[in-house]
Amino acid sequence: MRSISSLPLSLGLVIFSFLVNSVIIIPFIDLLYKLNLTRRVEAPKKGKIPLFDKLHDIKAGTPVGGGILIIVMVSLLFVILFPLASRLGVFIHTAYNLRGELTVIFFTFISFGLLGLFDDLIKMFGKPTQGILGYWFGIRRWHKFIIQWILGLITAYMIYGYLGIDIIHIPLIGTVYHLGIWFVPFAAFVIVAFTNAFNITDGLDGLASGLLIICLGAFGIIAAGNLDTPLSLFIGLWMGALVAFLYFNIWPARIFLGDAGALSFGASLAVIGLLTGSIVALVVIGGIFVIEITSSAIQIVGWKVFKKPIFPLAPIHHSFLAIGWEEPKIVMRAWLFGLMLAVFGLWLATI
């Protein structure tokens, strides 16, 4: 049988996944309403209302759970369709141990999703606690951060131990550094950083999911160039599901990802960068996520050191919202900036 490239199949899976998820997402939204899995009003009932709550409590009542649907559907479709790929004449090629690579991908995709789902449920049904700037909903910040590091270290160790990856490639100068066992904490840092960067960016309708589609398009090309069949097919299914979700997530959103999607997708994007050996390209392709988390870090330094905020509100997209920019304008301009960063990062990864 003639060997078929994985790229046409990956593109076909984008379309197939989009169609399947487009059919399912409407009844899924209705189900979320019936289960009362919706965003809560977070502003305090008495006293001064924080600026963040003034800007975002208008979104209260919108279903939360798009990430759950995407994680479940992508995982199920992959389990069903991947074994059929070789029967269709697709040559299954990967530079790594196949079982190890699939374990890394889906451990990250599902475990971080479960952590986010637990956080979502506590946010929606748990009792809020009083914080410095208002009520705090969900798992306590440090508890969630510690669990993220535990999952990140497990994932990083599997990448190092199962797949033998321990390098950082610096494009342009063509230097490759072998980190050995130190790759584990480095990779864990990358995973945790992108987990929180994506979660922070997921604050405006369509912002994070649209940027992620752009990032996955770039990494889909990189994975195809690396002849990594399982990763290419996973990205294809994931992209198709995200496009179907984004149709209902653009302003005014009818459904949100929730932390289940935000934590899972940020961590999985980082793992894709690690698996393709494109750490520098990851930072550039996901540059908007890096900018968002950096702006939050600067804001924290402002409060800690100068006892006042640096930005009107953090992360940076909230500052634009606070000074009067319309939400769709912020999102679309971020998409355009993200697109050019993806092109630049793709160039770096392929030279």
Interval 76-81 mean pLDDT: 95
pLDDT of residue 88: 73
% pLDDT > 70, the chain: 90
pLDDT of residue 170: 87
pLDDT of residue 47: 56
Beta carbons within 8 Å of 130's beta carbon, 6+ residues apart: 136
pLDDT tens for residues 211-261? 999 999 999 999 988 889 999 999 999 999 999 999 999 999 999 999 999
Phi, psi of 65 (to 5 degrees): 155, 10
- Distance separating alpha carbons of residues 241 and 71, to the nearest angstrom: 9
pLDDT of residue 15: 97
- Whether 45 has a pLDDT exceeding 80, the answer reads no
- Distance separating alpha carbons of residues 131 and 112, to the nearest angstrom: 25
- The dihedral sign for the CA sequence 165, 278, 105, 219: negative
% pLDDT > 90, the chain: 71
pLDDT of residue 1: 36
Interval 112-140 mean pLDDT: 75
Contact 4/31 with Cβ under 8 angstroms? Answer: no
- Whether 312 has a pLDDT exceeding 50, the answer reads yes
The one-letter amino acid at 60: A
Name the average pLDDT for the chain.
90
pLDDT band (50, 70, 90) for residue 48 = low
Helix (H) or strand (E) holding 235: helix 229-249
Pick the more confident residue, 176 or 192.
192
pLDDT tens for residues 55-68? 656 788 899 999 99
- Whether 130 has a pLDDT exceeding 70, the answer reads no
Angle, CA of 103, 104 and 107, to the nearest 5°: 75
Pick the more confident residue, 45 or 317.
317
Q: Round to the nearest angstrom and report the end-to-end CA distance of the chain.
A: 33
pLDDT tens for residues 177-219? 999 999 999 999 999 999 999 999 998 999 999 999 999 999 9
